Amino acid sequence: MDNFADKVAVITGAGSGFGREFARLGTKLGMRLVLADVQQDALDETFAEVSAAGAQAVARRVDVAKGDEVDALARATLDAFGGVHLVFNNAGVGGSGGLVWENTERDWQWLLGVNLWGVIHGVRAFTPLMLEAARRDAGYRGHIVNTASMAGLLNPPMMGPYNVSKHAVVSLTESLYQDLSLVTRQVACSVLCPYFVPTGIAHAQRNRPAELANDAPPTLSQRVSRALSEKAVSSGKISAEQVAAMVFDAIRAERFYIYSHPNALGAVKTRAEDIVTACNPTDPFAERPQVREQIAGALKG
């Protein structure tokens, strides 16, 4: 896809971070936008901004963990614009982190509900619409972008549920790619694997549903993990705006894997070599033992 003017883009997580930047860039390219987010005030801000800039847009509050709400989003898209060309399954949360056994069932339900089931619902609801459009029009082109993470290719410590969710999104998107290749050349897909980029994901607890809140306060390891995550995310040197530009470039080129920090792929290669040679997982702190010592010390209180 190299012409975005008048095309329809659905963006989940449109209230902040990558989602807002996808909306901004889509507006500049003349796209029509369907914006979705669970945080109403942030969604309203994005909608107001792109509307003021001239975009045709609709906005809906959606909890992507709920399949019926994503189905309703698909129907609203057809009602508003008659079809869809780009789908950004982008909504995501950072979770509670910490030692993997200390995460509660509610922690897992919340994080997998948004990060994994949100993407599953998006693929399930929108792919058939795109395939039907392709059957009707030989000139139709569609593209699905699923937001994963470098944590979908690696397994950093004290990020267990997040790692699991993002590995699953990578696997889901690779499966989608292979399945699409059997039935069409008109609909493509990509997986976005960003590293540390300053967005609001480190503060995602603000949107955690009350019914999935924990009764007990965070454990020591969860507090340590949260502090490390906030520091790493806020110190990122590549902006969400830059990542959005990379994504649209990848859509134009029909490139599947999208990396914000290609220099991080060395660790991915090391992990792959560990798997192929049946080695135990490489210590992620092998070159920075002082970091391991600091974290271990913090976990001892």
- Rounded Cα gap, residues 86 and 97, in angstroms: 32
User: 162 catalytic, yes or no?
Assistant: yes
Output 149-153 pairs: Cβ under 8 A, ≥24 positions apart: 149/92, 149/193, 149/194, 149/195, 150/193, 150/194, 150/195, 150/259, 150/261, 150/264, 150/268, 152/191, 152/193, 153/193, 153/268, 153/271
* Amino acid identity at 163: N
- Rounded Cα gap, residues 255 and 31, in angstroms: 21
Q: Cβ(145)–Cβ(85) under 8 Å?
A: no
3-state secondary structure at position 208 = coil
Closest alpha carbon to 78 in 44, 22, 34: 34
Q: Cα 48 to chain center, whole Å? A: 23
Instruction: Extract the tokens encoding 193.
Output: 């694997």
Q: Which of 140, 162, 195, 259 is catalytic?
A: 162
Q: Cα 218 to chain center, whole Å? A: 25
Residues labelled as active-site residues? 162
